[in-house]
Amino acid sequence: MAEELIVSNNLSKEEKYQEIYPQISALIQGEDDLIASLANIMAALKYGFGWLWVGVYFVKEKELILGPFQGPIACTRIQLGRGVSGTSWHKKETIIVPNVDEFPDHIICNAASKSEIVIPVFNTQGEVAMILDVDSDKLDDFDEIDKTYLTKIINQIVPLL
């Protein structure tokens, strides 16, 4: 397990992901507890990128239930098809929102949120088991680079689902 996260200044977004990915992998290597691994992943992402909020929601019956996160307090339950997270779960696809004020049915958990990326995480049976939700206080802060690397990072925990 890693004892410290090292994030260099003045890197491009992709270079930052390339630097942080192996550190996150080392951080969760050998840990078989889902919550412990997710808690450290969320802390590493929040620290490494400085986003407003980063966390997960677990699919439980017909709603998403808040899991480990870093940032301001959050919505604890989200219905299927509601907001960005519920829509991502329903559509089973990643959603990148450049401006949350322009997303129909956006749920305001924190007024400081300006842009968002939400990634569904599938269990070994191919069902959405969890949602990774990342909010920024900057407009248009997420793109395909984030989608690629965040998916790669969060999919490391699939065997624990």
- Could you read off the pLDDT of 2-19 as tens digits, one per residue? 567 888 889 999 999 999
Domain count, the chain: 1
Q: Does residue 4 belong to any structural domain of this protein?
A: no
pLDDT digits (tens, 9 = 90+) for 89-143: 999 999 999 999 888 776 777 678 899 999 999 999 999 999 999 999 999 999 9
CA pair distance 127, 89, nearest whole angstrom: 10
Residue 6 covered by a domain: no
Q: Are 43 and 70 in contact (CB under 8 A)?
A: yes
Residue 39 belongs to domain with CATH number: 3.30.450.40
Decide if 32 is inside a domain.
yes
Residue 138 pLDDT:
97
Quickly tell me which residue has 């699919």 as its tokens.
Answer: 59
Which residues is 63 bridged to in the sheet?
60, 79
Amino acid at 69: F
Q: What is the model's pLDDT at position 101?
A: 84
Domain region containing 122: 13-160
Is residue 8 situated within a structural domain? no
Which pTM value belongs to this model? Answer: 0.93
